[in-house]
Amino acid sequence: MDDSQAIRECQNGETSAFRILVERYQGQAVGHAVAILFNREDALDAVQEAFIDAFKAIDTFDRARAFYPWFYVLLRNRCYKMRTRNRETESIEDTEILAPQVGLPREERVALERALVSLPREDRELITLKYLDGLSYQELAEHLQIPKGTVMSRLFHVRKQLQKKLTGQFPLR
């Protein structure tokens, strides 16, 4: 069943059709929430709340649009409203944002993750959506509900910030 069909059934009061959407997007949503909150438990709570919000608002959803960008707006609202718990450990032993890459030494991945974590949440969200999801400026503008010009200037400043943080951490190749 595709998204549009599942949403139509949800709009007709079929709660079970919502399961398809939850199961289809939960992994992606948790990844996005972790990138903002940097805490898996908080991320799981935020995603759960966002799915409840989505179900409540499903009647207002325009089926001509894609589900996930619409859901993402609800998800980030939830993430930014949350009071975050502290991470249990100071050291980033298990990286939660970046996937292990063949050929990239682990310490470099950890250093990059550290640099990402030290960025403000909004900046971390922007840079991960750009590079890890490969979103275009237009898609970033839609996801973040900001003008395209703002995406461009924020991205520029975040890249510069990241560049500063990474210089000295390990030699950039």
Does residue 145 belong to the site contacting another protein (CB under 8 A)? yes
Is residue 153 within the footprint of another protein (CB under 8 A)?
A: yes
79: which residues sit within 8 A by CB, 6+ positions away? Answer: 33, 36, 37, 43, 46, 121
Which of 8, 11, 92, 98 touches another protein by CB under 8 A?
A: 98
CA separation for the pair 31, 79 (Å, rounded): 12
For residues 10 and 17, the answer to whether their CB atoms sit within 8 Å is: yes
Residue 29's CB is within 10 A of a number of other CB atoms, namely 24
Per CB under 8 A, contacts with another protein among 112-141 are 112, 127-128, 131-133, 136-137
Amino acid present at 80 = Y
Instruction: Report the alpha-carbon distance of residue 56 to residue 105 in Å, rounded.
Output: 45
Question: By the 8 A CB rule, do 141 and 151 touch?
Answer: yes
Pick one of 40, 87, 114, 121: the residue that binds another protein (CB under 8 A): 40
Instruction: Give yes or no for a contact between 115 and 162, defined as CB atoms under 8 angstroms apart.
Output: yes
Query: Least CB distance from residue 86 to another protein, whole Å?
Result: 20
89 binds another protein per the rule CB under 8 A: no
Residue from 6, 79, 126, 155 binding another protein (CB under 8 A): 155
* 156 touches another protein (CB under 8 A): yes
The four Cα atoms 63, 65, 67, 69 give a dihedral, to 10 degrees, of -160
Any contact of residue 85 with another protein (CB under 8 A)? no
Q: Which residues bind another protein (CB under 8 A)?
A: 15, 18-19, 22-23, 26-27, 30-31, 34-35, 40, 43-44, 47-48, 51-53, 55-57, 60, 73-74, 77, 95-99, 101, 103-104, 108-109, 112, 127-128, 131-133, 136-137, 145, 149, 152-153, 155-156, 159-160, 162-163, 166-167, 172-173
